[in-house]
Copies of this chain bind each other. A is one copy, B any other.
Amino acid sequence: MDSRVHSKDVKHAVYQKLQERGVGIEEIARIVMEMQIAYNPLLTLAACVESVHAVLNKRELQHAILIGIELDSLAERGLLSEPIQSIVSSDEGLFGCDETLALGSVFGYGSIAVTTFGYLDKRKSGIIRKLDTKAGSHVHTFLDDLVAGIAAAASGRLAHQQRDREEGTPASAPGADSASME
């Protein structure tokens, strides 16, 4: 297929759209920090930023982010057909597709990532709350869940990596193959 989009272009679009929608990598990393510091007092924000970049490198999460932001932004401009236009623009509680889309990419980082996602989605810390509060005319129905998903995935990744480091075996984290197996 000649028209196949190259991963580099997909990744570039993800970073650009997150920025356009007001989501900074460091803001996501701060949520990761908040979730993982209890388990690793030596955790640095730099390590959290790195973990966010690592999960943003995954194809299915990239696609979910692009689809979610596309739907938010179409809803914002009133370009969806009814009744989905009203459902998305009102961010109604029992919609479900927003969490489902985000969850798909969270599973890859272990059960701990799934429970972290649920927790973040309910408690809405930091940037997630800011997005969910929808000041003005912005629609962030998908984006708040996606950010919770990115933070949860990056948290799960750190949890497994920390354990690997403690054991000197950098292999068994979900989302990270051992170099020797590659």
In terms of DSSP, what is the predominant structure of the interface of chain A?
Answer: helix
Does A54 make an interface contact (CB < 8 A)? Answer: yes
CB neighbours of A98 from chain B (8 A): 111
Closest chain B residue, CB of each to CB of A67: B97
Q: How far is the CA of A176 from the CA of B174 in the complex (A)?
A: 8
Check B83 against A5 for contact (C-beta < 8 Å): yes
Among A95, A97, A167, the most chain B Cβ lie within 10 Å of the Cβ of A97
Partner of A83 from the list B9, B175, B177 (CB cut-off 8 Å) is: B9
Is residue A13 within 8 Å, beta carbon to beta carbon, of the partner chain? Answer: yes
Complex interface: chain B residues within 8 A of A74 (CB): 74
In whole angstroms, how far apart are the Cα atoms of A168 and B39 in the complex?
A: 37
Copies in the complex: 4
Contact of A167 among B6, B167, B175 (CB under 8 A): B6
Cβ–Cβ < 8 Å partners of A109 in chain B: 108
Interface residues on A, range: 35 or more
Does A134 touch B at the CB level, under 8 Å? no
Q: Cβ of A130 < 8 Å from any Cβ of B?
A: no
A86 touches B177 (CB 8 A): no
Q: Residues 28-66 of chain A: 1 if any B CB is under 8 Å from the residue's CB, otherwise 0? A: 000000000001000000000010011001111011101
- Taken together as a complex, chains A and B put the C-alpha atoms of A147 and B167 apart, in Å, by 27
Complex contact A111–B7 (CB within 8 A) = no
Contact between B99 and A182, CB atoms less than 8 A apart: no
Minimum CB–CB distance from A56 to chain B (whole Å) comes to 9
Is A93 part of the binding interface, using a Cβ–Cβ cutoff of 8 Å?
A: yes
A-B contact pairs, 7 of them (CB 8 A): A1-B90, A7-B167, A11-B172, A57-B171, A57-B181, A97-B101, A118-B120
